[in-house]
Amino acid sequence: MKINQKERANRLINATQEKWKDINVEINQDIGRKLISCFARDQIINLKNSYTDKYLKYFAKDNTKWNILNLVMYFSAKGDPFYKAREVRWLGISKRKFDKIIRECIKSGRFIYADPIDATTDTRIKNIRPSEKLIISWSLYNISRMQRLIKNIKRLNLK
């Protein structure tokens, strides 16, 4: 089956045009192609960076682990407790798998148990937090992602 590339490009632009407008980008075939190339290259770099980092590579191997990492980071930054029941439901995984991942992270020092921020917190709740080294790795990883995004926005003259 032969595909008309121009018609295909127009369908892709039409399907995504509203989201581009949300970020004030007037999309056309040339910019669309360049942006898709940037997105793909950045995802490849992100993956490589996460696999080569001593602390992130454990999480990069499995999407569930990566999601747990981000949830722990999120609730830690907010100062909120990390509720096993809520996270298991949100992730759609078994309690056994969740417990295994948390145990591995605690044992390896990636996660730690910290004292509750609020002294009235239920003592049955484990205050799981990322280790300082994991926070540093994760932060540097995300700063690098932001730097590439800013560079691409400037390079493509996007406003």
Distance of CA 94 to the CA centre of its chain: 21
Q: What is the distance between the alpha carbons of residues 99 and 122, in angstroms, rounded to a whole number?
A: 19
10 falls within a domain: no
Q: Is residue 147 part of a domain?
A: no
The reported pLDDT for the residue numbered 135 is: 96
Which is nearest to 13 in space by CA: 25, 23, 27? 27
Amino acid 155: pLDDT: 83
Q: Is residue 158 part of a domain?
A: no
What percent of the chain shows pLDDT beyond 90? 50
Q: How far apart are CA 118 and CA 63, in angstroms?
A: 31
CATH of the domain at 68: 1.10.10
The single-letter code of the amino acid at 72 is V
Amino acid 24: pLDDT: 83
C-beta of residue 91 within 8 angstroms of C-beta of residue 47: no
Residue 106 resides in a domain: yes
For the chain, which ranges sit under pLDDT 50? none
Domain count of the fold of the chain: 1
Name the pTM for this structure: 0.81
- Please report whether residue 20 resides in a domain: no
| Structural domain contains residue 144 | no
Question: CB of 110 within 8 A of CB of 55?
Answer: yes
In a domain, 44, yes or no: no
Q: Is 103 inside any structural domain?
A: yes
What's the burial of 40, exposed, middle or buried (CB within 10 Å: 0-12/13-18/19+)?
Answer: exposed
Parent domain of 121:
56-130
